[in-house]
Amino acid sequence: MSRRVVVTGIGIVSPVGSDIDTFWSSLCAGKSGIDKVSAFDISDYPSKIAGEVKDIDFSQYVDPKEVKRTDRAILLGVVAAEKALKDSKLDLSAIDTTRCATIVGSGIGGLSTLETEHTKLIQRGPSRVSPFLIPMMIPDMPAGRISISTGFKGPNYAVVSACASGAHSIGDAFMIIKSGVADVSMAGGTEAVITPLAFAGFCSMKALSTRNENPQKASSPFDKKRDGFVMGEGAGILILESLEHALARNAHIYGEVIGYGASGDAYHISAPPPEGIGAQNAMKNALACSGLNPSDIDYINAHGTSTSLNDKYESFAIRKIFGEYADSVSISSTKSMTGHLLGASGAVELIASLYAIKDGVIPPTINYEDPDPECDLNYTPNTAVKKNVRYVMSNSFGFGGHNACLIVGKYESSKNSN
């Protein structure tokens, strides 16, 4: 079987908004969600800024007793999943839940829980460690908890591929539905590691921006002044369905997933290879899967981390794959506003990509003020641009050389199945 796959539900929790309207209007307005870290005492750290999810009451979605024994990464994912399910208007009593998958990734998992419980172990001994440590910590638990809450009994697992986790999860869900293994899937990513240990580790790598004096200007993808990424947290969950399943229940369709490409760098634990060859291969594979030409892509939501090597080599890779069309395609990095949501980033950015198609708007790359000669493409600087958007490519690359590329398009009922 080779079935068409569409998106019928969206759930978002992010530093720029935890409902879809606020999220999207913030991106279009160039509004940053980055500020001084409030989760812990940051005074001894070189980097002091992040994109935190604020003003969220988890007890509205999860029993208050469960909130206390559930890691923040799981809670963010559960909230986004509930929003997506509600948005999709799926009637769980009317569908075959054994053909409903749950594929939700997390790059790191419940690190906050691990830090808290390890402190208890050192200070108070093993008997004081929580019996919920393991189920709160392991990266597969967002998928597990979402499956339990929805009753989805189809394929259920987590993808852990660092910052490509969310995109790989959606890609896997796309392939599972396309091949006929499932009819519906929850898919996406969640991450919550604005914690002392994670910050210490990334600071020791010199991976984070230290432009603390003006937090909202710190994430500046493709700009010459960029000095590292800004940590973010959040979750993005999408409901994917086979077209037949969606039409049978008269579902609202946001767009169609038409291409997925994945590759491995086989090069370095944290740095991309010269010329972004892994990124090139992922984009090439996604285009081949979709049946599109580079000239068909209207917008690229770039990985665009605001780090020196990623932005340089992603730009090179785009120019290599898109050739003479590279100067015409619109590109932006929404990480300039949200920060880098790590394992959730690919899902959150695909949601932005679908809304770019829906509203015909390219969200900007803010803080683009001093062009880097090695990043010489159209990054939609500082201000959103109106444009008819048919097809969007969304890139995600992770430590370990994990690359994922997704292509979504405007839904057209007359299109033949692939």
> What domains can be seen in the chain, in order of their start residue?
5-248 (3.40.47.10), 260-409 (3.40.47.10)
Q: What Cα–Cα distance (Å) separates residue 6 from each residue in 38, 178, 271, 410? A: 38, 10, 34, 10
Burial 54-85 (b: 16+ CB within 10 A, else e): eeeebeebbeeebeeebbbbbbbbbbbbbbbb
- Residues involved in catalysis: 163, 303, 340
pLDDT of residue 55: 85
User: In which residue are the tokens 């079935």 written?
Assistant: 3
For 108, the token pair is 């790191």
pLDDT of residue 416: 54
Distance in angstroms (rounded) separating the CA atoms of residues 209 and 198: 14
Q: What is the pTM of this model?
A: 0.97
Distance in angstroms (rounded) separating the CA atoms of residues 278 and 273: 7
Low-confidence ranges of the chain (pLDDT < 50): 417-418
pLDDT of residue 413: 84
Query: In terms of Cα–Cα distance, which of 258, 181, 186, 189 is closest to 6?
Result: 258
